[in-house]
């Protein structure tokens, strides 16, 4: 019966209800079914918020990013990249992927991110590179460029952070092994994450190269037709 809270979360998300309300109600219901006093449940909510209050720092950055975008940050980023002829959308994203993965491997997880880097900088720069090469980019291709930019951030962070010894995933595995009497070394776990991170970078670099080829086939042909016309 305690697991009914999981079912409430699934139902709430399926109905597209407010996530904050869904999670809160699920937590309350789970605690009440488990026999906890209502005051203890509310206390645990407060302790969890206090412990993870650093997560709310992201909310503070959003107004700053909004002001920068309103002042033309996206336009300037795209305009700057459009002047470099050798740059393509895939290459711009690939450079960021490398930067993001290396940064995450060094524990610098906050250097990138969707709201503070991908939306205001990376995506406009990749779109600007595409416009410089092909002219006006159709909406479908623009959305694909943005999707690849967001994916590069996710992949770089996900595989890069596993190389950092103090990341939560490695500490969690260390604690799990210790509880079960298995000797483990966090440094060795991080080292074994290195081949996976390198392979992930190579695979996604190939994907970005193929994406550039795809844009060449679709938009390059259209550009030549417009020139001939």
Confidence of residue 9 (pLDDT cuts 50, 70, 90): confident
pLDDT at residue 148 is higher than 90:
yes
Is pLDDT at 153 greater than 90 in this prediction?
yes
Q: In terms of Cα–Cα distance, which of 14, 164, 31, 146 is closest to 93?
A: 146
Tell me the backbone φ, ψ of residue 151, rounded to 5 degrees.
-65, -40
Please calculate the CA angle 203-171-201 and round it to the nearest 5 degrees. Answer: 10
**At residue 10, does pLDDT exceed 60?**
yes
**Considering only 61-65, 109-113, 125-129, 186-190, which range has the smallest mean pLDDT?**
61-65
CA distances from residue 78 to 88, 98, 120 in whole angstroms, order as listed = 12, 20, 10
The CA R_g of the chain, rounded to the nearest whole Å, is: 23
Any idea what DSSP says for residue 140? Answer: H
Tokens representing 142? 């623009």
Residue 141 has pLDDT above 80, yes or no: yes
Mean pLDDT of 40-59: 70
pLDDT above 70 for 51 = no
pLDDT tens, position by position, 203-221: 999 999 999 999 998 887 6
Residue 193: pLDDT band with limits 50, 70, 90: confident
For 169-181, the pLDDT digits (tens) are: 777 777 778 878 8
User: What pLDDT score does 134 carry?
Assistant: 85
- Separation of alpha carbons 75 and 131, rounded Å: 12
Strands (E), 110-208: none
First to last CA, the chain: 70
For the stretch 80-117, pLDDT in tens is: 676 666 788 999 999 999 999 999 888 888 788 888 88
Give the residue with greater pLDDT, 36 vs 50: 36
Q: How confident is the model at residue 227 (pLDDT cuts 50, 70, 90)?
A: very low
């Amino acid at each position: 019966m305690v697991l009914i809270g999981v079912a409430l979360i699934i139902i709430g998300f399926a109905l597209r209800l407010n996530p904050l309300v869904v999670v809160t109600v699920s937590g309350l219901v789970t605690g009440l079914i488990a026999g906890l006093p209502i005051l203890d449940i509310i206390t645990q909510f407060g302790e969890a918020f206090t412990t993870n209050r650093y997560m709310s720092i992201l909310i503070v950055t959003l107004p700053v990013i909004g002001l920068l975008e309103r002042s033309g940050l996206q336009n300037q980023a795209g305009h700057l990249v459009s002047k470099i002829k050798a740059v393509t959308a895939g290459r711009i994203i690939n450079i960021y992927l490398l930067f993001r993965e290396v940064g995450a491997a060094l524990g610098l997880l906050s250097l990138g991110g969707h709201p503070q880097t991908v939306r205001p900088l990376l995506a406009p720069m990749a779109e600007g590179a595409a416009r410089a090469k092909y002219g006006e980019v159709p909406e479908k291709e623009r959305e694909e460029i943005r999707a690849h930019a967001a994916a590069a951030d996710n992949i770089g962070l996900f595989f890069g952070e596993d190389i950092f010894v103090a990341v939560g995933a490695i500490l969690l595995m260390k604690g799990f092994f210790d509880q079960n009497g298995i000797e483990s070394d966090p440094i060795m776990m991080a080292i074994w994450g290195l081949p996976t991170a390198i392979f992930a970078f190579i695979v996604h670099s190939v994907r970005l190269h193929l994406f550039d080829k795809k844009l060449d086939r679709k938009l390059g042909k259209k550009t030549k037709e417009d020139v001939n016309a």
